[in-house]
């Protein structure tokens, strides 16, 4: 069992596309447990593998009531026309919140930890978290998804908070 350090904005891992996972084996299952531990240790509601430096398509998402789900190779298959804008944060850009417009509802297809295909329909916070984490698998963060003014403000806030860290 391990808790990984979460990579921060500026880390090249966060700009890379993650590779799909060919086989959901024991290593992936153990890794997913460590990802979930890391997510909760950092008080997050979602985590994507590239945030811990692993460029593979796997995300963990808090489902409430101390439950989490793991999605391997998740893809948005369908989405609503309707969108919603809300403030969003990210463990890789700590203490910063920016407005992001997301699809109100999404249908996500993925594999579970037994390698079986699963389909999940999500709305509200879950839809938002899934879109956020899937963005990470494509090398995108909240700073790519917000408006340019919020982006500039967020980056200067982040720089100010982290200027003493190397």
Residue 23 and residue 119: Cα distance in Å, rounded?
Answer: 18
Residue 152 and residue 49: Cα distance in Å, rounded?
Answer: 26
Point out which span in 27-35, 86-94, 121-129, 158-166 binds Zn ion (CB under 5 A).
Answer: 86-94
94 or 123: whose CB is closer to Zn ion?
94
Residue 136 and residue 130: Cα distance in Å, rounded?
Answer: 10
Q: Using CB atoms, what's the residue nearest to Zn ion?
A: 90
Point out which span in 21-29, 53-61, 84-92, 122-130 binds Zn ion (CB under 5 A).
Answer: 84-92
Residues annotated as catalytic (active site), given as ranges: 133
Cα dihedral angle (5, 41, 129, 77), rounded to 10 degrees? Answer: 70
Least spacing, CB of residue 44 vs Zn ion, in Å: 8
35 or 90: whose CB is closer to Zn ion?
90
The number of beta carbons lying within 10 Å of the beta carbon of residue 75 is 13
63 or 119: whose CB is closer to Zn ion?
63
Of 125, 158, 165, 161, nearest to 141 by C-alpha is 158
The correct pick among 35, 72, 90, 143 for binding Zn ion (CB under 5 A) is 90
25 or 144: whose CB is closer to Zn ion?
144
Least spacing, CB of residue 102 vs Zn ion, in Å: 13
Least spacing, CB of residue 26 vs Zn ion, in Å: 27
Least spacing, CB of residue 84 vs Zn ion, in Å: 18
Helix (H, G, I), strand (E, B) or coil at 36: helix
DSSP H or E run through 97? strand 93-103
List residues near Zn ion by CB under 5 A: 90
């Amino acid at each position: 069992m391990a808790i990984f350090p979460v990579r921060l904005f500026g880390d090249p891992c966060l700009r890379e596309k993650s590779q799909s996972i060919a086989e959901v084996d024991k290593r992936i299952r153990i890794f997913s447990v460590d990802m979930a531990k890391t997510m909760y240790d950092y008080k997050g509601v979602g985590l994507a593998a590239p945030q811990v430096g692993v460029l593979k398509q796997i995300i963990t998402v808090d489902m409430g009531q101390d439950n989490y789900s793991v999605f391997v190779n998740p893809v948005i298959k369908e989405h609503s026309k309707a969108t919603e804008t809300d403030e969003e944060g990210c463990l890789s850009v700590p203490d910063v919140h920016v407005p992001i417009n997301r699809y109100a509802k999404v249908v996500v297809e993925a594999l579970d930890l037994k390698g079986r295909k699963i389909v999940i329909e999500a709305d509200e916070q879950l839809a938002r978290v899934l879109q956020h984490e899937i963005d990470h698998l494509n090398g995108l963060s909240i700073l790519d998804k917000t408006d340019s003014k919020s982006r500039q403000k967020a980056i200067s806030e982040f720089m100010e908070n982290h200027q003493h860290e190397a």
